[in-house]
Amino acid sequence: MKLRFLIIMGLLALMVVLPISMRRISSTARANSAQDRLVILTPHNESIRQEFGEAFAAYWKQQTGRSLYVDWRTPGGTSEIRMVLDAGYKAAKESGREGMGVDLFFGGGEPDFSGQAKKGRFVELEIFKKEPGLFSDPAVIPEIFTGERYYGVDRNWIAVCMSQFGICYNPDVLQRLKLPRPTQWSDLGDPRYAGQLALADPTKSGSVARAFELIIQSEMQRVIARSGKSDASLEEGWSSGLQLIQKLAANSRYFTDSASKIPHDVSMGDAAAGMCIDFYGRSYGELTTRDGRRRLEWRAPRGGTTLSGDPIAVLKGAPHPQVAQRLSEKYLNDGN
């Protein structure tokens, strides 16, 4: 009896210790022991934060010999971050301070960063002066590509990661519903998707708002290509795009606040399809593959997406400006 008890307790101890021992050792120092600190405001999920944070902490240690604690602040999507920035800088102005205690804004979309830049909340990035050759040749880092801006007019933000917006779907659910695999945005307007589309609120997620914009632009291009007349076709294309979004809304299962929830639910079979960024879709596709069979596929819609940038900017009044500038340079070099 005693031997059986010891075996059970040993197995329980092993269950607790083994995952901890196999866990990847973090390069990021603890908050109370780090020699340097960096505060980042972001909408990104935990896996992205971990990859970027640990990579830079290791780089900082190698370059300076100093430990670094990366303090991620995640109030929600870009709409919540916008409210945090508005409130933070308002409070800073009332108290006579220049900044709000945050170093970097990382992740979102060009509209979010252009809006904050117009409010004068970013400082110029030093990478533009250190490496002017990167930006003088459009073949290296273009200012605009596929209709997307890759750095600010005043050079105070820059895209550090490239991504596309597209469609994620569950092959098994589509087979059950007898639906073909979607190849373009309009396919998701099929009435057979009723109650099977996972969508996110565009007022909460900058990436989803951009995807809805791409739907309208693709419909405009389709109408122009069909008629051959650009001016007279813009209104028709705009109307067609809004009607398609209405069809998607009618087919929706829900409107979530988190864009990363969509590929998760699609991979679990709770929805047949949805829209998401490529790295969300592809990573979930790899994570949910069993015996060579994928539970989630991602596809760029034909004629309906662009290559977008994920920006980064150093905030005015940053408490650790030198570290923040180095981080933006490191992300740029790694991301591109």
CATH topology of domain 25-162+309-335: D-Maltodextrin-Binding Protein; domain 2 (3.40.190)
- Per-residue confidence (pLDDT) for residue 308, from 0 to 100: 85
Mean residue pLDDT across the chain: 85
- Per-residue confidence (pLDDT) for residue 293, from 0 to 100: 85
pTM equals 0.77
Q: What is the pLDDT of residues 150-164, one digit of tens each?
A: 999 999 999 988 888
- Per-residue confidence (pLDDT) for residue 332, from 0 to 100: 67
249 with 199: CB under 8 angstroms?
Answer: yes
- Per-residue confidence (pLDDT) for residue 317, from 0 to 100: 95
Nearby residues of 145 by Cβ (< 8 Å), 6 or more positions away? 307
Please give the CATH number for the structural domain made up of 165-305: 3.40.190.10
- Per-residue confidence (pLDDT) for residue 170, from 0 to 100: 96
Token look-up 């905030």 returns: 315
303 with 218: CB under 8 angstroms?
Answer: yes
DSSP 74: -
Please, which residues bridge with residue 252 across strands? 197
Q: Between the CA of residue 326 and those of 5, 30, 241, what are the distances in Å?
A: 55, 20, 42
Q: What is the pLDDT of residues 280-316, one digit of tens each?
A: 888 888 888 888 888 999 999 988 888 888 899 999 9
Q: What is the pLDDT of residues 128-158, one digit of tens each?
A: 999 898 898 888 889 998 888 999 999 999 9
Q: What is the pLDDT of residues 18-45, one digit of tens each?
A: 444 444 444 555 667 789 999 999 988 8
Q: What is the pLDDT of residues 184-207, one digit of tens each?
A: 999 999 999 999 999 988 887 777
Q: For the ranges 21-30, 54-63, 106-115, 163-172, which has the lowest average pLDDT? A: 21-30
64 with 280: CB under 8 angstroms?
Answer: no
234 versus 233: which is more confidently predicted? 234
141 with 77: CB under 8 angstroms?
Answer: no
- The tokens describing 303, both together, are 């004629």
Whether the domain at 25-162+309-335 and the domain at 165-305 fall into the same CATH topology: yes
Domain boundaries, the chain: 25-162+309-335, 165-305
DSSP 185: G
CA dist., res. 244 & res. 304, Å (int): 13
User: Which band of pLDDT confidence, cut at 50, 70 and 90, is reported for residue 333?
Assistant: low
% of the chain beyond a pLDDT of 70: 87
Which whole number is the average pLDDT over 98-123?
92
- Per-residue confidence (pLDDT) for residue 157, from 0 to 100: 95
- Per-residue confidence (pLDDT) for residue 9, from 0 to 100: 55
234 with 220: CB under 8 angstroms?
Answer: yes
- Per-residue confidence (pLDDT) for residue 28, from 0 to 100: 58
Q: What is the pLDDT of residues 72-83, one digit of tens each?
A: 999 988 888 999
Asked if residue 109 has pLDDT above 90, the reply is no
